[in-house]
Structure 1
Amino acid sequence: MINSNKLKIFNDPIYGFIRIPSTLIFKLIEDPYFQRLRRISQMGLSYMVYPGAHHTRFHHALGSMHLMQHAIQVLRFKGVAISEEEEEGLLVAILLHDIGHGPFSHAMENSIVEGISHEHISLLFMQELNQKFNGSLTLAIEIFRGEYSRRFLNQLVSSQLDMDRMDYLKRDSFYTGVAEGSINAERLISMLNVVDNELVVEEKGIYSVEKFLITRRFMYWQVYLHKTGLVAEQLLIRILKRARELLGKGMQIECSEALLFFMKNRVFENDFTAEVLDQFSHLDDIDILSALKQWQYHDDFVLSKLSGMIINRELLSIKMKNSPIASKKIEEQSEKIKNLYGLSEEETAYFVFAGKIGNRAYNSEFQNINILKKDGRLKDVAKASDHLNLKTFSKKVLKYYMCYPKETI
């Protein structure tokens, strides 16, 4: 790798000093596409539950890159050959893996654009940067897409035990103050190895993997899918839906030029041209928050009421159950709010709605985590573990919810 002509470091609250290893990576970090991640929240609206959760995708990307540097060092020490070109490709791939996130991350993934994953948009950004940097990202893109011949390199970037997950669990635990979510990433990385081009975990690291999976399950139900954060995200999705609906009826909506572009245009995967990518690159959390501050005073009751709920944290009530919500209960709440505010059926649906959420801590059928036994055999962690609950983690758990205004209680 080509070293930068100056010593570049970031002071990170999780890992201490993070070293920038090459000129290319420093230039990528300097690029406006990457700097935009400073204005994209890592945890969406979770700060409404955990006030400290204001860290950004920028933090997370640098942290993931730092862990990748450590993983490369460990694997080389164990005799796994990784060339300097592969090292830079890995570091670039993990640095840019989340560059395609939109405002408030996952909450907006299907509101700004139509059914386009952030991974796909990340790839588009990487391809654009590859042109800008004269093909320097070609290997990183191959690794990111899983097209490079050495499969374990992609697994370090995207798998069930990758540097992305290790960093966000440790980082999100730190910033939320949820100590139960902390993992020992360094211990996990020190137990990694490669067998037949596949990433594996040495047998003595099995308890660290168990802790990692249990922690991930805990963080999803306690933090990422917390009912208050869920309500806030659902409100935000409906606010943008209402704004788009009003624009379609010819009403005036004040917001930034970038946000207005996506409110006026329904963008599908095939529509994602260079012009659209440029508009997307100007979109961040600030666009959404400034729009909400204006929309809370809009003439439309639905838009103003919903926007005020987010701005003032006067959210809807939510009930969560392990079984589907009875349609009768939804109808009862809908009738109350319809009469209270004098709304139509269509407008009432913005305030009373039901849905479901699901999570699976471990998927034994896709990119499973293999444990390297002392006799050289590989065994799936769920089968190798003596933890009673680990096998159940591979089953998807569903929970059902209903949201409605507090005024109807």
Structure 2
Amino acid sequence: MNKRKIINDPVHGFIKIPNDLLYDLTEHAYFQRLRRIKQLGLTHLVYPGAVHTRFQHALGAMHLMSSAIETLRSKGHTITSEEASGAHAAILLHDIGHGPFSHVLEHSLVEVSHEVISQVIMQKLNEEFEGQLSIAIQIFNNSYPKGFLHQLVSSQLDMDRLDYLKRDSFFSGVSEGVIGSDRIIKMLNVVNDRLVIEAKGIYSIEKFLVARRLMYWQVYLHKTALAAEQMLVHLLQRAKWLIANGEVLFGPPHLLYFMKSKPDEKEFFSNGEVLNNYTMLDDEDIMCSIKMWTSHEDVILSTLAKGFVNRQLWRIKISDVPIEPTVILAIQEATSRVYGLDSVEQSKYFVFSDSITNNAYSIKDDKIEILYNTNELKDIAKASDMLNLSLLGKTVRKHYVCYPKCIETELQTASTLF
């Protein structure tokens, strides 16, 4: 069988699958599941074109890994064929543990991070492929001797970020996210086992960091998508509560498995039933179930389900300062009156308050270092004449409250709330 396939990708053009092992990984049911998980969760409710998948992103990141390895080899750095295959497999599988709607339901439907689940799945695949993923797992876990290979998979300038910024910008239509990924990769080098960027690429890095910050505000943390995400989280919380109290709800068995139980990290590694159920979960399971719940007799569940399915999303107000508890209580009381709820406590399914943060560059994590012709290395925060340390390292936090639009007439009597 010919396994040297070429995939036509709208972002990068033609993508080659480097070897038979990687082809077999892309054909595996665990990886094919990523076709049914949207890269940007619920962001398509804001940007209709943003319906691309984790499957596409993983292939794109693998393509960029090929370019990065070719660049580093051309500059005299030794990367064996086994190491190259391991790096390709690590980036191909880096998101294999994502659940339905990507980050939205992490720690909600399943209370274990997708990074941990990715490791579980990679260990399982390594058994199936008779140890051929051992180097990939070491690179993924940063336990392989050549640390720069891990940085290509996970760092502040990894192939993951270089693909998702360009891809998410393309499919959402938000041009502020366009980055010069090809030029950044061409400027890659290695010094003391650390990835660095040659000085000629500094402006591309500045553009990359600005694009990342703008994409977070305009796409990843867009307030309408945030409202939809909170509705989905609280909708599933209500469904879990009903099931725990004896209610029988419609849902695929593998979804109901996690609605009824809370397997921890240890169980994911030791209990095959947990992994078998998890690797069946995708976006379609959630949507199918929620559509059925729109006609449920529980007013909280059915109201949230109808609003979510029909894109009748809640109002969201964002503030630079924390929302006063008295404001939240007033909104909860108004919600209780409008929906005829038994208690203010029940209104917490409709009224949500939290905060969001945006940080383009972490000065505490692995740094992006600029390599000059003199062999001097400088952190981008110090090397840039456009972006200073206080701007790059600043974490911006915003607070929000989310509630049903239909209660706003009740809130008019309290016009000083906002």
TM-score by length of 1: 0.98
Matches of residues 255-266 of structure 1 in structure 2 within 5 Å? 255-266=251-262
Match of 1:175 in 2: 171
Matches of residues 347-366 of structure 1 in structure 2 within 5 Å? 347-366=346-365
Match of 1:280 in 2: 278
What CA deviation, in whole Å up to 9, does each residue of 1:158-214 have, x standing for no partner?
Answer: 000000000000000000000111111000000000001100000111111110000
In 1, Cα distance between equivalents of 2:339 and 2:308: 19
Matching of residue 35 in structure 1 with residue 21 in structure 2: no
In 1, Cα distance between equivalents of 2:118 and 2:301: 31
TM-score by length of 2: 0.95
Match of 1:321 among 307, 319, 325: 319
What CA deviation, in whole Å up to 9, does each residue of 1:323-381 have, x standing for no partner?
Answer: 10111211111111111111122211111121101121101111111111221011110
Match of 1:407 in 2: 406
Match of 2:191 in 1: 195
Match of 1:117 in 2: 113
Matches of residues 284-363 of structure 1 in structure 2 within 5 Å? 284-343=282-341, 344-363=343-362
Match of 2:154 among 133, 150, 158: 158
| Secondary structure at the counterpart of residue 401 of structure 2 | strand
Matching of residue 57 in structure 1 with residue 54 in structure 2: yes
Task: Tell me how far 1:391 sits from its aligned partner.
Answer: 3.5
What CA deviation, in whole Å up to 9, does each residue of 1:294-328 have, x standing for no partner?
Answer: 01111111010001111000010000011101112
Matches of residues 46-125 of structure 1 in structure 2 within 5 Å? 46-114=43-111, 116-125=112-121
CA contact (8 A) 1:210 1:390 kept: no
Matching of residue 249 in structure 1 with residue 255 in structure 2: no
In 2, Cα distance between equivalents of 1:387 and 1:274: 52
Matching of residue 9 in structure 1 with residue 6 in structure 2: yes
Which runs of structure 1 show a deviation greater than 4 angstroms over 4 or more consecutive aligned residues? Answer: none
In 2, Cα distance between equivalents of 1:346 and 1:299: 19
CA contact (8 A) 1:188 1:205 kept: yes
One-letter amino acid matched to 1:237:
V
Please, which moves more after superposition, 268-277 or 101-110?
268-277
Task: Tell me how far 1:389 sits from its aligned partner.
Answer: 4.8
Instruction: Indicate the RMSD between aligned Cα atoms, in angstroms.
Output: 1.0
One-letter amino acid matched to 1:374:
N
Match of 2:230 in 1: 234
Match of 1:216 in 2: 212
In 2, Cα distance between equivalents of 1:184 and 1:388: 18
One-letter amino acid matched to 2:260:
K
Matching of residue 376 in structure 1 with residue 372 in structure 2: no
Aligned-pair identity (%): 55
Match of 1:185 in 2: 181
One-letter amino acid matched to 2:336:
K
One-letter amino acid matched to 1:363:
S
CA contact (8 A) 2:381 2:387 kept: no
One-letter amino acid matched to 1:392:
L
In 2, Cα distance between equivalents of 1:268 and 1:132: 24
Task: Tell me how far 1:149 sits from its aligned partner.
Answer: 0.5
In 1, Cα distance between equivalents of 2:387 and 2:206: 11
In 2, Cα distance between equivalents of 1:300 and 1:94: 44
| Secondary structure at the counterpart of residue 107 of structure 1 | coil
Task: Tell me how far 1:5 sits from its aligned partner.
Answer: 4.1
CA contact (8 A) 1:355 1:401 kept: yes
Any gaps of 5 or more consecutive residues in structure 1?
A: none
